[in-house]
Amino acid sequence: MVIFNKIKRILLCFIIVLLSFCMMSCKSSLNNQYNMENINLFLYEDNKERYSNAYSKNLFLPSVDKVVDAKGVTVDTYLLFSENADNSTIYKYKNVFTKRSIASLTKIITLLTVLKECDDLSRKVTVSANATNLGVHSSMAGLKRGDEISIEDLLYGLMLPSGNDCAIVLAENVANSVDDFVLLMNRLAENIGAVHSHFTNPHGLDDTYHYSTAFDIYLFMREGSKYELFNKIIGTSKYNATVVSETGESRNIEWTQTNKYLNGEKQTKENVSVIGGKTGSTNNAGRCLSIFAKQNSSGETFYAIVLNSANDTAVYRNMDNLLATLY
């Protein structure tokens, strides 16, 4: 028995030494992979390896505990960020790494996932019963079970009227299932450095484990801006789609942008033009708005994000006050 206990102690010591060596090797490997000494970034420390791989050398990351107040903005999460060829500046920000429900701002990464994963946007797909049975309070684009529609048309239905039905049809047809599509969303988020996000669905309806941050939403918009179709869709005010019903009859659906800056219901000050954006609203998320804007006098472009406003009036008032920084 004494000999057996000694052997156990020796084996335990060996295992501890082996684990320590493996951890040191992994850390060294990560540092070599991302070449940490040569990266000129302000990094959010607890995710240094992931961030350094995802960001350009000019990207400035805000300090997690610092606030640069925007006068008249009453929500506790917002971001105004300029990223141009020769300069990147965060003008105003607060709680940009705080995890929040983001409602239909989720559809920004849903759109981005489709653009990255789907090779044929002209492909016709069929609307399932699952896509049309999302509840009476769900934002819908007017699709019916059995409708045939192209993937590209679905992207407009996803973003302009914020169709949750479009989100489900896209997920079912771009991946093997909605769950598989959500895995692609989460993988994409991590790959672009949005490491404080987690998604459980492609539309943004409230769920405990479905969340993101203002900074991650900026990253989604930034990544999306690399795609011509992404920029076109988020800046479109109206769109007409043709669908073919289960019985073979064609019908036209007109979708109008929910973003009031883009549909003509609201105007910004003269020096700022809204190029594109996305709205979102659920009980947990409140009213959310993410936009891509341009300062007319300088041509400088900006991303602006406001989360968790009390109502529709408040979210546009908060965004107006955030954009007032640019006047």
Catalytic positions, written as ranges: 104, 107, 162
Phi, psi of 159 (to 5 degrees): -95, -35
Buried b (16+ CB within 10 A) or exposed e, 265-297: eeebeeebebbbbbbbbbeebbbbbbbbbbbee
For 288, the token pair is 């959310």
For 71, the token pair is 């006068």
CA distance 315 to 119: 36
Using left for φ > 0, alpha for ψ between -120 and 50, and beta otherwise, residue 193 falls in left
User: Cα dist. 241→121, 138, 228, 251 in Å?
Assistant: 14, 20, 19, 8
CA distance 286 to 288: 6
Using left for φ > 0, alpha for ψ between -120 and 50, and beta otherwise, residue 299 falls in left
Cα–chain center distance at 286: 16
CA distance 94 to 122: 41
For 253, the token pair is 């659906």
**103 with 110: CB under 8 angstroms?**
no
CA distance 237 to 242: 17
3-state secondary structure 85-132: CCEEEEEEEECCCCCECCHHHHHHHHHHHHHHHCCCCCCEEECCHHHH
For 182, the token pair is 């959500």
